[in-house]
Amino acid sequence: MTITTRLTCFFLALLLLVLLGFSIATYFVADHYLQQQVEERLAAAMNSICGVIETNTDGVEWEPGERRQVLEFSAFEDQLVWWVTDEQGQIVAQSVNPFTSAPSGERDVTARLQAGDQLGNTWLIGQRTIETVPSTNRTSDRERSSSQQEPGKHAALNVTAAILLVPVQATRYQLAGWLGGLSALVWLVSLVAGRFVCRWALAPVRRIADAAEQVQPEDLSERLPPLATHDELAQLTNAFNAMLDRLQQSFERQRRFTSDASHQLRTPLTAILGHVEVSLRRERTDSDYRSVLETVRKKATHLSRVVESLLFLARNDQEANLPSLELLELRDWLPRYVESWSDHVRFNDIALTNETSAIGLVSAQPALLAELLNILLDNACKFSQPGTPIDVSLREDEGRVAIRVQDHGCGIATNELADLFTPFIRSTEARRIGVDGIGLGLSIAQRLARLFAGDLSVTSQAGQGSCFVLWLPQQVAEHGAK
């Protein structure tokens, strides 16, 4: 079942309850109003009939001749019957259309009306008794009661009136039919309109689903079309696009690992193969072979450390556990590291300067730190002319230790510094002079610096060289490695 169908069903069920409640409430209010109107008509008719009766101290007299117009009920005369009876129950007067085939007795008429007439119609009945006005002269009252009542005079008259309820019942049935019909019509119209509105409101969801189906693992650059509604759907679209960004970054990290691995493994592998090929060109002495094997062992060990480090870099931050962090005294370690470049053709151009008297204690992984500095020194050698100095210095500044590598080569344009650490980005000058590289070295160096809770900054000027500074937090000996 689609969301459109579920929403439509929910809306129609709720509307049905509302219409049902409204119809029932309207019916009962209208029924109460109709009943009240009938009762008011009956009370008005009773008052009119009682107005024809003359009441005094010598008896009660029916006088229709003098007040005939009072008994005219033109508005609902066909729905009203009435009769007047004396104290013995004999009918004194009655309406023009009395109850069909009613006996002359008042009790029989009332009983028949209460039970329903010959057609099964129901009536609303009202009764009232008009008695003689008592006199203040008790002697005359006793004499009058002992003598015969005057003709036309009665001790009391009973007035009974009844209104036919068939029109009221017919109005009730008609009202119920109208309410039911209108409710059904409103419900059917709401069915069509509600489904249309639901489909229109959920159209962005369908577009989001269609756009999401276009996203393929081979190309994660596709994004959902942004919505300008600033509602929950726009929030969903933004969240989904953010998720795609994270997925793309994850895939890029995997691709970058392959490129990083090839970039970092090529140099030691080339050195190993070169030494092996040279040793195989002709017969060597045992000492020569031992020297070659020692070089291969050193390069293989370095290669193993690089592979371990690259595997670590390929993991997510949550999965990464920095291997073998150690407390390094850079004052002693840095000279040994620079000495490891002794077999490089530019070794004599490298000048090490210690600008601090402190030991420069930092927490780092020696192999990764050496790889980071290898990248900086390698770039300094590639982008500066042989014979120009490459300055490596150590200093402290406000709780941090700085290793600076400065060359005096071609430099980098100021407008290219912002993207310098972006993977695969190479400066215009590097491409112009044809220096080998794929633009991954500095991005790897920056990631390594951040693994040590440090940072890598650069200042450069075209034609005057570049200066890279590795900032590392200074440690205290008793704290141990982090």
State both tokens at 288. Answer: 């020569």
Question: What secondary structure, in 3-state letters, does 390-433 show?
Answer: EEEEEEEECCEEEEEEECCCCCCCHHHHHHCCCCCCCCHHHHHH
| pLDDT (tens place) for every residue of the chain, 482 residues total | 677 788 888 888 998 999 999 999 999 999 999 899 888 888 888 888 888 888 887 788 887 665 555 555 555 556 788 888 888 888 888 876 554 444 444 555 566 565 555 556 788 888 888 888 776 655 555 555 544 556 678 888 888 888 888 888 888 899 999 999 999 999 999 888 888 888 887 787 888 788 888 777 777 777 777 777 777 878 888 888 888 888 887 777 677 667 656 766 777 788 788 878 888 888 878 888 888 888 888 878 877 766 765 565 565 555 555 566 788 899 899 999 999 999 899 999 999 998 777 777 898 888 889 989 999 999 999 899 999 999 999 998 888 999 999 999 888 888 888 888 876 677 888 878 877 665 678 888 888 898 888 999 999 988 889 999 999 998 876 544 43
Task: Assess contact for 411 and 482: CB atoms under 8 A.
Answer: no
Query: Which domains are delineated in the chain?
Result: 3-174 (3.30.450), 232-314 (1.10.287.130), 326-479 (3.30.565.10)
Select from 320, 313, 321 the least CA-distant residue to 256.
Answer: 313
Q: What is the pLDDT of residue 261?
A: 65
Task: Assess contact for 228 and 38: CB atoms under 8 A.
Answer: no
Q: What is the pLDDT of residue 189?
A: 92
Question: What secondary structure, in 3-state letters, does the chain show?
Answer: CCHHHHHHHHHHHHHHHHHHHHHHHHHHHHHHHHHHHHHHHHHHHHHHHHHHEEEECCEEEECCCCCHHHHCCCCCHHHEEEEEECCCCEEEEECCCCCCCCCCEHHHHHHHHHHCCCCCCCEEEEEEEEECCCCCCHHHHHHHHHCCCCCCEECEEEEEEEEECHHHHHHHHHHHHHHHHHHHHHHHHHHHHHHHHHHHHCHHHHHHHHHHHCCECCECCCCCCCCCCCCHHHHHHHHHHHHHHHHHHHHHHHHHHHHHHHHHHHHHHHHHHHHHHHHHCCCCCHHHHHHHHHHHHHHHHHHHHHHHHHHHHHCCCCCCCCCCCEEEEHHHHHHHHHHCCCCCCCHHHEEEEECCCCCCEEEECHHHHHHHHHHHHHHHHHCCCCCCCEEEEEEEECCEEEEEEECCCCCCCHHHHHHCCCCCCCCHHHHHHCCCCCCCHHHHHHHHHHHCCCEEEEEEECCCEEEEEEEEECCCHHHCCC
Task: Assess contact for 299 and 264: CB atoms under 8 A.
Answer: no
Select from 72, 76, 81 the least CA-distant residue to 100.
Answer: 81
State both tokens at 46. Answer: 């009773």
State both tokens at 335. Answer: 């000279």
Task: Using a cut of 0.75, tell me whether the model's pTM lies above it.
Answer: no
Pairwise CA distance, residues 61 & 151, whole Å: 9
Question: Residue with structure tokens 């509602």?
Answer: 231
Those residues with Cβ within 8 angstroms of residue 427's Cβ, 6 or more apart along the chain or in another chain:
412, 413, 416, 420
State both tokens at 265. Answer: 């493994």
Q: What is the pLDDT of residue 239?
A: 87
Dihedral angle, C-alpha 223, 224, 227, 231, nearest 10 ° = -110
State both tokens at 128. Answer: 């009232």
Q: How far, rounded to the nearest angstrom, does the alpha carbon of residue 339 sit from its chain's CA centroid?
A: 62
